Amino acid sequence: MLVTQLLLLAAVCAGIGVATEFGLHRFLTGQLDEQVIEAGRRSVMMFDHGPPPPPGRPPMMRPRDFPGRHPGLRIDDGPGPAFLNAPGQATRTVGAVVTDGQAETAGVITGDGARAEISGPAAARLAEVEVGRPPQTVDLDGLGRYRVVAMPSLFTPQTVVTGLPTDDVDDTMLQALVIFVVVAGAALAVAAGAGAVLVRREMAPLERVSDAAQQVADLELDRGEVRLPSPIVEVDPVAAGTEVGRLGTALNRMLDRIAGALRARHASETRVRQFVADASHELRTPLAAIRGYTELAQRKRAELPDDVAHAMNRVESEATRMTQLVEDMLLLARLDEGRPLRREPVDLTRLVADAVSDAQAAGPGHAWLLDLPDEPVMVSGDEDRLHQVLANLLANAATHTPDGTSVTTSLTMRADGAAVLTVSDDGPGIPAELLPNVFERFARGDSSRSRRDGSTGLGLAIVDAVVRAHGGTITAHSDSGTTRFVVSLPTKLTGGA
């Protein structure tokens, strides 16, 4: 705003300056033209009649066949027309007598009042001045710019050309321009200082709105309970009707509605989590009973008909799978509730080696590779939960890649002291449209509801929740032929859910 105002003010000043210079130039040039015309008339009169007689003496009429040769003109005082010696002629006045387009004689009055000859090109330029036209500007060689006028002699076919220099006009114009530039510059400087103060004062409420919006933007609104200050922007009642005041009021109303929606969402999520936790907890008892009865029935498998034995086997398998699902849901519910994890030193190097060894035993069809540092990598956290992170990542690679796929688990230390765990494979990869949602609960790579591979759809969601509970981050990258899950864990626990 300040720059725009200064540019506008500069444009206005420039317009005023141009108009002032133009008007001043016309005024001064008009005054000079009047002086040139007066000098031209005086020169023609002196050329035709000679100088006026002294006071008390009658005028002397010279013969018409001797124009310009009256003794009072002192034609022998120097080069150039004799009328330059006439009374009233200003210094630096230029004059010429033109005959048939040629300068018969031409000269200039010097600064000490004497007559001096002018150059040939200057005399030729004077000879080109047309009779009957208003004064015009010409550049005379060695003399500069002049306003000149040509007037005919009354008694001869000759033309008298008279001119005055434009130096006074040019000097005045330059002085006016310098004064205007100085004044305009000072005015712009003062306007910039005053404008900065005024704009900052007027924009202060808008800066508060911007700061409040940034404060809200920095909040984590995707999960948990969000407390927004109310009102987020203090609106001065006096300025409530201004644009900034209306903006602050609208922002407060919008944030009030958002806060209400967030409270309702949090309350709904809390109820859902509580229901999941309660249901998971309650389901553990009947599931344990079902598994106990199926195990008991399996002990007497030889006494049961084949179809009943097969049914009991399926019941036991599904009960085991449902138990795992309930345990996963209960773990997520506990993490969502913010229950703290254990904090103890964990040798991540040993944990990785054990997890890869277990994965190799469970999936011999894959090639399991290890890349570990020479020194142990220690982190602070819950060893069981971190083992679950590794187990889930390796199980995810085994489940969604065909036999023969190479799965590489690497562990490094970053420059900032964080431990970086990477699980990569050279399988078919994750479709680009599914990659942003891989850590969501019950996310799956196909649209079917079947779980032929035993997956619950909660493995990566648990990985994400446990890593965040340890103050770390996890990212997924997948290109054609390569999939990488990168886990970053601080060596010291920075927070927990």
Contact by Cβ (8 Å): 184, 15: no
What is the model's pTM?
Answer: 0.48
Average pLDDT over residues 333-342: 74
Contact by Cβ (8 Å): 95, 81: yes
Contact by Cβ (8 Å): 449, 458: no
Confidence of residue 471 (pLDDT cuts 50, 70, 90): confident
- Structure confidence by residue, pLDDT tens digits, 1-24: 778 888 888 899 899 989 999 999
Q: How far is CA 319 from CA 284, 285, 462, in A?
A: 10, 12, 21
What is the model's pLDDT at position 238?
Answer: 63
What is the model's pLDDT at position 367?
Answer: 92
Q: Which of 95-99, 354-358, 477-481 shows the lowest per-residue confidence on average (mean pLDDT)? A: 477-481
- Structure confidence by residue, pLDDT tens digits, 425-434: 988 888 888 8
Helix-helix angle 383-399:348-362, to 10 degrees: 40
What is the model's pLDDT at position 97?
Answer: 92
What is the model's pLDDT at position 36?
Answer: 92
Query: Is the pLDDT reported for residue 392 higher than 50?
Result: yes
Average pLDDT over residues 158-187: 92
Q: Which of 59-68, 153-162, 239-248, 426-435 has the highest mean pLDDT?
A: 153-162
Pairwise pLDDT comparison (136 vs 56), residue with the higher score: 136
What is the model's pLDDT at position 200?
Answer: 78
Choose among 138, 146, 187: nearest CA to 14: 187
Give the separation between CA 194 and CA 206, rounded to whole angstroms.
Answer: 19
CATH node for 219-339: 1.10.287
Confidence of residue 161 (pLDDT cuts 50, 70, 90): very high
Pairwise pLDDT comparison (199 vs 420), residue with the higher score: 420
What is the model's pLDDT at position 66?
Answer: 37
What is the model's pLDDT at position 58?
Answer: 52
**Percentage, residues of the chain above pLDDT 90:** 26
The string of DSSP letters for 234-257 reads: ---GGGTTSHHHHHHHHHHHHHHH
Confidence of residue 114 (pLDDT cuts 50, 70, 90): confident
Query: Is the pLDDT reported for residue 477 higher than 70?
Result: yes
Judged on CB neighbours under 10 Å (0-12, 13-18, 19+), 194 is exposed
Q: How far is CA 73 from CA 57, 82, 104, 395, in A?
A: 17, 6, 17, 124
Query: Is the pLDDT reported for residue 229 higher than 70?
Result: no
Q: Which of 138-152, 217-231, 415-429 shows the lowest per-residue confidence on average (mean pLDDT)? A: 217-231
Q: 344-489: which CATH topology?
A: Heat Shock Protein 90 (3.30.565)
Confidence of residue 172 (pLDDT cuts 50, 70, 90): very high
What is the model's pLDDT at position 89?
Answer: 85
Confidence of residue 451 (pLDDT cuts 50, 70, 90): very low
What is the model's pLDDT at position 231?
Answer: 62
- Structure confidence by residue, pLDDT tens digits, 278-318: 676 677 778 788 878 788 777 877 777 888 888 888 888 88
Query: Is the pLDDT reported for residue 61 higher than 50?
Result: no
Contact by Cβ (8 Å): 312, 304: yes
Rg (CA), the chain: 52
Confidence of residue 452 (pLDDT cuts 50, 70, 90): very low
What is the model's pLDDT at position 135?
Answer: 93
Coil, helix or strand at residue 97: strand
The average confidence (pLDDT) of the chain is 80
Judged on CB neighbours under 10 Å (0-12, 13-18, 19+), 73 is buried
Pairwise pLDDT comparison (338 vs 392), residue with the higher score: 392
